[in-house]
Homo-oligomer: A and B are copies of this chain.
Amino acid sequence: MNSFGRIFRIQIYGESHGPAVGLILDGVPAGLSLQLEDFAGDLERRKPGKQGTTTRVESDLPELVSGIYLGRTTGAPLHIQFKNQNIRSEDYSAFLDQDRPGHADFTARIKYGGQHDPRGGGHFSGRLTLALVAAGVVAKKILPELQFAAVLTEAGGLQDIPRALELAEADGDSIGGVVECRVEGIPAGLGEPFFDSLESVISHLAFSIPAIKGIEFGSGFQSVRMKGSEHNDAIMDSSGQTMTNHAGGINGGISNGNPLLFRLAVKPPSSTPQTQTTYSKQSGQMEPLKITGRHDLCLALRVPVVAEAIAAIAIADLALIRRTQNI
């Protein structure tokens, strides 16, 4: 499904090598000041072209197609479009005989009866995260009092990221990483159990980001080795501030006013420079496959801003819904 959210709703479209990717945001409060410049910072952070990322560089200039008038949101659907400019379709034609391991080639082919757009991953391309980042920019403007800070804490098993990238280059192999996202200033009371817990909504969005294979909140998988007396965050005052934050700022699926904290596991990109051996439809057996083209060696480098974006999207929706809950 191409849409998510109840009030602040994101709807996306586009393919890697089609005319454009973009998004419609519905439910954006009217009167929000929004300029093209507002997008520059976060889009820059998502951009490839840095060490360890693909050399495909797009200018990534957003166009505000609808929902904006005199520099402010109107309350009507906000359509943001990114034209695709730097397209090399020929890189992908060779893979039609061999579905690339780790990619959606096989699954998309089965699901859509071979009708999907295979060029550059088509609708499954990481390029679609542009839409998430753009939505995140708008969401952050709805939440001016919040601070979002996501960082890559580990890549290729090392906390020293430049060293990890050097090794990956030397090995000629792609590497994964862990992205940690922290949100400060989030008020208590956000989250809609039973099903729309704050964790549920964030994780739903997180797993729409290609390459994410795990998420944990607070102490997450470490908490399974703690005792209850150790894991519980003692409440210190009437505002709900806690001494520790093993819960990652969430109790019972609802924000408790302490910093929101989650971590994402980003797998190594499937487009490794290494030669792989995988099934060939033509020969009917496994054959070598060498993926060329422009690809990220460490996609995780570009994920922090996307992690912030999905946190902001989730929180903006829940913050708007929160307004409906008092008599």
Using C-beta atoms within 8 Å of the partner chain, give the interface range for chain A.
Answer: 35 or more
List which A34-75 residues lie within 8 A (CB) of chain B.
63, 65-67, 69, 72-75
- A238 near B279 with CB under 8 A, answer yes
A177 at the interface (CB under 8 A from B): yes
Q: A281 within 8 Å of B by Cβ?
A: yes
With A207-B200, A214-B221, A254-B107 as known contacts, state yes or no: A173 contacts B115, CB within 8 Å.
no
Of residues 1 through 45 on chain A, the ones whose CB sits less than 8 Å from some CB of chain B are: 1-4, 6-7, 9, 11-15, 18-22, 24, 26-27, 29-32
CB distance from A114 to the nearest CB of B (A): 8
A16 smallest CB distance to B (angstroms): 11
Q: Complex formed: what's the CA distance from A220 to B74 in Å?
A: 30
For chain A, residues 179 to 202, give those with C-beta under 8 angstroms from any C-beta of chain B: 188-189, 191-197, 199-201
Chain A positions 242 through 258: 1 when the CB is less than 8 Å from some CB of chain B, otherwise 0: 10001110111111110
A225 and B74 form a contact (CB under 8 A): no
Judged by a CB distance under 8 angstroms, whether A90 is at the interface is: no
Flag if A30 contacts B117 (CB, 8 Å). Answer: no
Least CB separation from A20: chain B residue: B65
Other A-B pairs, 5, CB within 8 Å; known A1-B26, A199-B212, A229-B274: A104-B251, A110-B257, A178-B221, A178-B224, A214-B217
